[in-house]
Amino acid sequence: MEVTLTGRAARRAHTIGRVEFEAEVRRAVSDAVFSRVVSAILAGQLSPGTPLPSAVDMAATFQVDPELMQDAIDRLLEIGLASFAADGSIAVVEWRNVVGIELLAEVAASGARPPRRLLTDVFVMRRAVAADAARLCAEHASDAELAEIVSAAQRYPEVPFDVDHASAVDSAFWLRVLDCCGNVGYRLLLNSLLRTFAAVGRDRIIEIAMYEEYLQPAAHRELAAAMADRRGDDAHRMAYEMLSGTVRKLRPFVN
C-alpha cells in the first residue's frame, strides 16, 4: 500500500532527506580532501618532518572548507601519517614506517613508487599468498569446499575466450581458494590487492600481466585437483610456478 505524507510529516521527511543528502555530500568531499593530502604525502610533496600548515592555510591551498581540512588532518593523525612534534605543531611522518596494506591502493594512485615496480611487488606478494592459500586448502578445507574449488576451476574457458569472462572466472576461482583456506588475514589482503588493481587500472593489469594466466585452464584444473587430493606441497608448488610467469613478465630478475 502506498502512503502519501502531507503537511508537517511531509515537511519533516523533506528536511530529513535534505540533511542526510548534505551529510553524504560532506562525507564525499571530506574523503576527497583526505585522499588528496594522503597522495601529496605519499608522492613526497609533503616530506617527512615537514610541519603541516594550519587547517586554514591548507584549506586555501586545496580550495576547500577549513572544517573539512581539519577533518582530513585529524584522520592523518589517526592513521599515523602525521604526528604532534615537540613544539606542538603537526608534522608529516615517513609513510613507509606507518602505512599498512590498507593504503596500498593510495600508494599506487599517488605514484610514490614507480608503477611497474609497485605492480611487481604486488604480484610477488600475490604469488606467495596464493601458493600458501592453496596449500592450506589442501590441508584444512572441507570436502565440500574443495569440490567448489574444483568446480570453479572447471569454468576456465578454453582459448579463444572473452577476456572479461575469463577475468571473472579467474577472480571467482582465487576468491574461493582464499575463502576456503581458513586464513582471514589472507582474505583481507586480497581485498587490498583488488583495490590496488582498480587504482592502477584493471584492463591495464590484464594486458601487461595477467592475460597469460588465463591461457592455462588445464594448469588451474590440475591445481584444483591437487588441493582436492589433499596434496598440500604439490598445490603450493603448482600455484607458485603458475603465478611466477606473471612475476617474470613484469620483472625478469625477480625470483
Q: Which domains does the chain have, with CATH numbers?
A: 7-99 (1.10.10.10), 114-250 (1.20.120.530)
Task: Assess whether pLDDT exceeds 80 at residue 45.
Answer: yes
- Which residue from 30, 174, 172, 43 is spatially nearest to 103, judged by alpha carbons? 43
Give Dmax (Cα) for the chain. 72
DSSP state of 112: S
| Distances in whole angstroms, Cα of residue 138 to Cα of each of 90, 92, 135, 223 | 50, 45, 5, 10
Strand partners, 29: none
Confidence class of residue 15 from pLDDT cuts 50, 70 and 90?
low
Q: What is the pLDDT of residues 169-209, one digit of tens each?
A: 999 999 999 999 999 999 998 888 888 888 778 888 888 88
Mean confidence (pLDDT) of the chain: 85
Amino acid at residue number 172: A
Taken as a whole, the chain contains a residue count of 255
Q: Which residues contact 124 (CB under 8 A, 6 or more apart)?
A: 247, 254
pTM over 0.95: no
Q: What is the pLDDT of residues 207-227, one digit of tens each?
A: 888 898 999 999 999 999 999
Helix, coil or strand: residue 186:
helix
- Which residue from 108, 137, 63, 100 is spatially nearest to 202, judged by alpha carbons? 108
